[in-house]
Structure 1
Amino acid sequence: MVFLLVSLTVLHLVTLAMLLIATLEKSWWIWADSEVSDLWYNCFYDNATQGWLCATTNESDWLQSVQALMILSVVFSSISFLVFVGQLFTISKGGLFYFTGLFQAFAGCTDFAACLIFTFHRKEILNDSRDLTKGRFGYCFILAWLCVPLLLISGVLYVHLRKKQ
């Protein structure tokens, strides 16, 4: 039981870290090795200064939807962890962690919706006249997709987890 509890806590924290990285880092779409786009900025690597020059992205309704859903996913997962810690000390023996699992499942659903919107509406989100076949998805987009099953699985595990003394 202790092993399951520790494993589930580590899974939750790793997934939360992956969500934060996917939301905040600058690699949702890669045009070339020296040009990337994310949810917040379009960045170019400047060889003269050896650094990234970033400008804010052009706002579109689809981009704002993805931004909001990713932030909601991080918030739901954070709330889920806080509720779990609270329930760990307050729930009675034999009680189930329903609220924790519910918030974790909400985090998975909002992350899933954000990934789907970015996948199917990337032309409108990137708002670029270039050919999308010359670019590719970045590691933050892949991290966001990897979080979907991890969040849903941990949500289901939380629902089935019973507190024992």
Structure 2
Amino acid sequence: MLVILAGIFLVHVLSLILLLVATIDNAWWVTKIVSTDLWRQCVLVNGVYNCTAIPQSAPQESLHVVQALSILACIFCFLSLIVFIAQLFTLPKGLSSHSPGVFQLLSGLCIMIAASIYTNQFHTSDTSGWYGHSFILAWTAFALTFISTVIYFVLRKKTQ
């Protein structure tokens, strides 16, 4: 049982790290000279990246929604981890609470909606460029949060 709990903990920490990197790192959309994330756009000029705010030509309302949902995903994932750890030490054996699973579910839904909005609203007409590693990490974090949500709903603290 200890190995299972350690595995669940590691999957949860990995999903939290992926969510944080996807939210912070500058690689949601990448070209040879431009790298864009949720907060800024960096342009390569003379071998040096000049970072500025996202241009006003981008749909600002959608950008703010994606930013907010990404932050909420990180917060819900962190809360889920704290609740999971607290319940390991406070709940008696044989009982389980589904609150970590609910927080993980909310986290997964937030990052899924954020990545979906980004896909639908941004760079739809760009012919050069590709989705960067942060975008891929966001979808990977969604998959991991979904897996850990299922595990939290199935997991029971067994009696000896």
Q: TM-score, normalised by structure 1?
A: 0.89
Q: Deviations over 1:50-77 (max 9, x none)?
A: 4321001136000000000000000000
Q: Deviations over 1:57-106 (max 9, x none)?
A: 13600000000000000000000000011111111211124000110011
Give the aligned length: 156
Partner of residue 142, structure 1: 136
SS of the aligned residue for 2:55 comes to coil
User: Does the 8 Å contact 1:26/1:41 carry over to 2?
Assistant: yes
SS of the aligned residue for 2:96 comes to coil
Partner of residue 26, structure 2: 26
CA RMSD of aligned residues (A): 1.5
Partner of residue 55, structure 2: 58
Partner of residue 39, structure 1: 38
Partner of residue 114, structure 2: 114
Q: TM-score, normalised by structure 2?
A: 0.92
**Counterpart AA for 2:157:** K
Gaps of 5+ in 2: none
Q: CA deviation at 1:20?
A: 0.3
Gaps of 5+ in 1: 125-130
Rounded Cα–Cα distance in structure 2 between residues aligned with 1:58 and 1:133: 18
Q: Identity, % of aligned pairs?
A: 37
Partner of residue 128, structure 1: none
Q: CA deviation at 1:31?
A: 2.3
Partner of residue 85, structure 1: 85
